[in-house]
């Protein structure tokens, strides 16, 4: 599975959109981009995933560049409950490889 690179941390103001970048320059054609988040020692929560096209669900939007070397997770209206570690994972089948993720802190 391809390695992903994320910023260590970022802050976001409550009510504003949070844009979380992820680089995956070695991603292969059959690997999806998955996003999970982990809120303080709870089990990771699935957010969204995509292959080529942009995706949106009730939690977030995923924007994948045309060359698939990077992506952005967008939380449209961040709330305090969105404070968590966000993981971007390039995944095709079987085992998920978690990196260090991005610690997102939403402030009032």
Partner 1 sequence: SAVISQKPSRDICQRGTSLTIQCQVDSQVTMMFWYRQQPGQSLTLIATANQGSEATYESGFVIDKFPISRPNLTFSTLTVSNMSPEDSSIYLCSVQGGTDTQYFGPGTRLTVL
Residues that bind partner 1 in the complex, under the rule CB under 8 A: 32, 34, 36, 41-46, 49, 87, 93-101
Distance CA 23, CA 7 (A): 10
Q: Which positions ≥6 away from 69 have C-beta within 8 Å?
A: 23, 24, 25, 27
For partner 1, the closer of residues 14 and 38 by Cβ is 38
Min separation Cβ 100 and partner 1, Å: 6
Min separation Cβ 9 and partner 1, Å: 14
For partner 1, the closer of residues 14 and 98 by Cβ is 98
Q: Which two tokens stand for residue 99?
A: 């990196």
Min separation Cβ 80 and partner 1, Å: 21
Q: What's the longest Cα–Cα distance across the chain?
A: 40
- Residue 4 near residue 88 (C-beta atoms within 8 A): yes
CB neighbours of residue 80 within 10 Å: 10
Min separation Cβ 96 and partner 1, Å: 6
């Amino acid at each position: 599975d391809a390695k992903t690179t994320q910023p260590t941390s970022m802050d976001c103001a409550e009510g504003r959109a949070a844009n979380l970048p992820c680089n995956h320059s070695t991603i292969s054609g059959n690997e999806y981009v998955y996003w999970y988040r982990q809120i303080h020692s709870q089990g990771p929560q699935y957010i969204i995933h995509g292959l080529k096209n942009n995706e949106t669900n009730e939690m977030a939007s995923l924007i994948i560049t045309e060359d698939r070397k990077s992506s952005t997770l967008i939380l449209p209206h961040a709330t305090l409950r969105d404070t968590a570690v966000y993981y971007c994972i390039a995944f095709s089948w079987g085992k998920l490889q978690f990196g260090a993720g991005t610690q997102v802190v939403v402030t009032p």
